[in-house]
Chains A and B, each alone.
Chain A
Amino acid sequence: MPKKYKIMPDTPASEVNAMLRTSTNLCMDDAISRHQSMEDKTALDMVNHTLDKDAPWTLLKLGRDAPPELRDILITKVKDPMVAFSLYLRLEWLTDEEDKLLEEKFKGKLPTAEAELKKGIVTRAKHGSNSL
């Protein structure tokens, strides 16, 4: 049975923003402020208009509740190799395809970090650790 997600592409952005507000321990976040300009649109519109710099934060906050078609748009916006590597370690819900999308952003670019992963000095949450 396909997994059901709380957020779908046609979910009103206002509902997504409400979820964001309850998932952060700050009363207001810069990223939420920027997302609020999309209140009358859909989740797909909101994700498409997410700034690159807000994409990692949005993935951390909403990724578990959004389908891969929305998450992949956000992953594509991640540019920095170590930010991509950190998400790769931290997000236990990544699909194998999403693993590959993130790997393309850091493979061969972080020799120390990649060696640490191979040696088990840092580990992936997907494999049962709670590493950040």
Chain B
Amino acid sequence: MAVTAYKTPGTCASVDRGDKAGWLDLDNAKVSNNAYAYTPGDKNDYFDWLRVTNFGFTTSDIPSGATIDGIEIKIEHYGTAADVIKDSALYLRKTSGQVGDNKASASAWATSDEEITYGGAADKWGYAWLASDIISSNFGVDLSPLNTDPDNIEGSYVDVISIRVYYTAPSGDHRRGSFFKMF
């Protein structure tokens, strides 16, 4: 099994999830630099989607026809108050939209920048991925946090979301190519 380097998004968007609190300073989620995309938040509610896509995976990273074994994402984030901001929903997405499992954690976000890992080498997030899904510029992550505080407006801050992909290269392809080249 091989693994790509961690890649970060080229595109960040705030996408409506039922007219909830939206995201600001979106491009700050492209790089880990302690500048943050954030939502000012609301009380006792979830927020709009932070959609990050265009991770720039190419066939140099994942050969065509490779078997996708697992996907791992890291999110650097924090909440504005202790024990109240958590994930509401966390999905991977492809061109057709969100697919697979909602990997949201029920653990509260820290009040200072922390990095949380989701998925891993053998975790396909409940979906049969093709290499072409991941090489697409539409491959990415949808994250919607939740404020569980019924009385106070609290916000969520995201420094960066990064992804790496575990795969097995199609070992037979080169041999078959060489064989046909002989004729």
Give the interface of A toward B (CB within 8 A): 24-26, 29, 53, 56-57, 60-61, 80-83, 85-86, 89-90, 109-113, 116-117, 121-122, 131-132
Contacts and interface: CB of A to CB of B under 8 A. Distances in A.
B104 to A, nearest CB: 5
Contacts of A117: 106
Interface string B68-79: 000000000000
A76 B2 CA distance: 46
B104 A86 contact: no
A112 B83 CA distance: 18
A61 B150 CA distance: 8
Contacts of A110: 102, 104, 106
A85 B146 CA distance: 12
Contacts of A132: 83-84, 86, 108, 148
Interface string B101-136: 111111110000000001000000010000000000
B150 A82 contact: no
Given A112-B105, A116-B105, A80 B148 contact: no
Contact of A86 (B90, B103, B148): B148
B136 to A, nearest CB: 25
Given A53-B45, A83-B88, A132-B86, 10 more contacts: A24-B150, A56-B44, A56-B150, A61-B150, A81-B102, A82-B88, A82-B89, A82-B106, A112-B105, A132-B84
Interface of B: 43-46, 83-84, 86-90, 101-108, 118, 126, 146, 148, 150-152
B83 A24 contact: no
A113 B150 contact: no
Given A24-B151, A57-B150, A83-B46, A112 B103 contact: yes
A86 B86 contact: yes
Contacts of A25: 151-152
Contacts of B87: 82, 113
14 contacts: A60-B44, A80-B89, A81-B89, A82-B89, A82-B104, A83-B146, A86-B146, A109-B102, A112-B101, A113-B104, A116-B105, A122-B107, A131-B83, A132-B83
Nearest to B84: A132
B106 A85 contact: yes
A82 B46 contact: yes
Nearest to B88: A82
Nearest to A88: B106
Given A80-B88, A85-B106, A122-B106, A112 B146 contact: no
A60 B150 contact: yes
Contact of B106 (A53, A60, A89): A89
A111 to B, nearest CB: 5
Contacts of A57: 43-44, 150
Given A82-B89, A132-B148, A113 B101 contact: no
